[in-house]
Chains A and B, each alone.
Chain A
Amino acid sequence: MNPVLSPSLAFVILIIFGLIWVGFGYWLGRRNKSLSDYMLAGRNVGLALATATAMATWVTSNTTMTAPQLTYQLGVWGMVGYSLGAVGLILFSPLATRIKSLLPQGYTSGDFIRLRYGKLAWRIFLVISFCYAFGWLVSLGMAGGILVNALSGIDYRIGMSVILIVCVGYTLLGGLRAVIATDFIQTLIIVAGVAAVAWLVIDNVGIESLHSSVIERRPMLLNLLFPASIMFLFNNLLFGVGEIFHSNVWWSRAFAFGEGIGGKAYLIAGFMWLPIPIVAGFIALAAPALGLTVPAADMVGPLVAGEIMGATGGILVFVVIFSALASSLDSLLAATADLLTQDIYRGHINPSATDAQCQIAGKWVILGLGAFTWLLCFPRITTLASLLYFTGAFVASAIWPIVFGLYFRRTSALGASLGMIAGSCLGLLAYFTIGFYVAALVSCAVSLLTIVTVSALRNEDFDFQLLENSRH
């Protein structure tokens, strides 16, 4: 397909936004005095910024590109199914409150697993976390290069490198404070941009004529009994819950939000995220009415915007997608760097490291992580990006160890370890023998069965007070 934007204009946009984000990150970073300031934005983030960062991080390039694609392929259930990703945020709301009250001085999800279940479960959990984090990092880095190339014709390697350098730059300079503040602005850009394109679709095509032209040309898209899309709906729901419950991206925010803020922020963010995939997906349904030929389903959103708004639509889509990519990439860089610093550097390499040493190590880790991601993304091996889909089996196995561990003192440490191992293995087996849509489901069910059985047999009794009293 033809790019919707000229390479020179796209490059100017990338440079201007890049400079703004990095400059903003530097300005915010001047307030960081301690490790808690750098890693957790001072642990007192207010409701507005907390809600925006939870929402923006969950709006990735997938939301703005894949939601239209799925709607174009799976119809109404595609967009509704995608929007159920919000359930993960909503269900994490009470967990965030619990996490903050149990570990007011915690840094990472690894801290909780180590203190609650011991070293074996901690190491298994770290393997799961890093598999997921690297899968997501690589998929985001590659998506950045591919999207910039598709939208503007800029070389994949240049686009991917610029996006990574910008995100590493402001995360390094400003820590989580920069990530959260940029997330707020990026949320406004993404939501306003997507809504503007959707209103223009209604203005140009009209909802009723759009409905009738889809019925005429692709009626299955409006079929409420489309089996493939109903299966997708459940798989997406479970994968999303697993991703959010285990990932340090969400845990570090629970630690960073002020007292009494986390629960409210995740709840509001979930409900505000809910309509975004529906609106983004709706844009795709205009393609038949506009008579557009769509060469690749994942480009349907930009194509419709370009058709309706011309060059302005191209610029708008480019800025929205750049913001969506940056808002997730920065969060993932910061949260994975925290996990590497706290759980690998302080947890395994230098247990006596001071906070000051960890803060310096954390900066090197962000740089190293950026370089590592760049190296993996550079050859553009697309199979690497699809690794993220494998991780559905891993992350779903961690759901019950997290939930039971947070609420029930009789949950067995051995049961949690075995649950994560058995769930991951059988989930992967189901992925290869049955299909992608059952991996998370099997993993979650096996993990549940294992942890409940072992806990019933071992009768352990954990004292939650130990969490609060422990050094993190």
Chain B
Amino acid sequence: MDTAIVLISPGAFSTLILLALTAATLIPLVMLGLLIRDKRNNRLW
């Protein structure tokens, strides 16, 4: 049986990966920022 093939383009692939990777790289910074904010406001626990 023939199966339809639509390949993801290099541009779309790069965009997907770079977006996800940039977001993942920023996550620890966001988490630390939130932690410092909660600590300063005495709202950790």
Residues of A at the B interface (CB closer than 8 Å) are 31, 41-42, 44-49, 51-52, 76, 80, 83, 177, 184, 187-188, 191-192, 194-195, 198-199, 202, 207-208, 211-212, 215, 219-220, 222-225, 227, 258, 272, 274-276, 278-279, 282
Q: A215–B30 Cα gap in the complex (Å)?
A: 36
Residues of B at the A interface (CB closer than 8 Å) are 3-8, 10, 13-14, 16-21, 23-25, 27-28, 30-32, 34-35, 37-38, 43-45
* Chain B contact residues: helix, strand, loop or mixed: helix
Known: A76-B8, A219-B5, A275-B20. A48 touches B44 (CB 8 A): yes
Is the Cβ of A199 less than 8 Å from the Cβ of B21?
yes
Is the Cβ of A198 less than 8 Å from the Cβ of B7?
no
B44 / chain A contacts, CB cutoff of 8 Å: 46, 48-49
Cβ 8 A contact of A41, one of B17, B27, B45 = B45
B16 / chain A contacts, CB cutoff of 8 Å: 76, 80, 278
Is the Cβ of B28 less than 8 Å from the Cβ of A188?
yes
A sample of 26 cross-chain residue pairs with beta-carbon separation below 8 angstroms, ordered by A number, consists of A42-B45, A46-B38, A46-B44, A46-B45, A48-B38, A49-B35, A49-B38, A49-B44, A51-B34, A76-B13, A177-B45, A187-B27, A188-B28, A191-B28, A192-B28, A198-B17, A207-B13, A211-B14, A212-B10, A220-B5, A223-B6, A223-B7, A224-B6, A227-B3, A274-B23, A279-B20
B8 / chain A contacts, CB cutoff of 8 Å: 76, 222-224
Given contacts A223-B5, A282-B20, 9 further A-B contacts (CB under 8 A): A46-B38, A48-B31, A76-B16, A177-B45, A184-B35, A223-B6, A258-B43, A274-B23, A279-B20
Q: A356–B25 Cα gap in the complex (Å)?
A: 44
Is the Cβ of A222 less than 8 Å from the Cβ of B24?
no
A274 / chain B contacts, CB cutoff of 8 Å: 20, 23
Is the Cβ of B24 less than 8 Å from the Cβ of A45?
no
A208 / chain B contacts, CB cutoff of 8 Å: 10, 14
Is the Cβ of A48 less than 8 Å from the Cβ of B35?
yes
Task: Give the shortest distance, in Å, between B19 (CB) and chain A (any CB).
Answer: 7
Q: A386–B6 Cα gap in the complex (Å)?
A: 33
Is the Cβ of A207 less than 8 Å from the Cβ of B14?
yes
Is the Cβ of B43 less than 8 Å from the Cβ of A46?
yes
Of all chain B residues, the one with the shortest Cβ separation from A214 is B13
Known: A207-B17, A211-B14. A225 touches B43 (CB 8 A): no
Task: Give the shortest distance, in Å, between A313 (CB) and chain B (any CB).
Answer: 17
Of all chain B residues, the one with the shortest Cβ separation from A192 is B28
B19 / chain A contacts, CB cutoff of 8 Å: 275
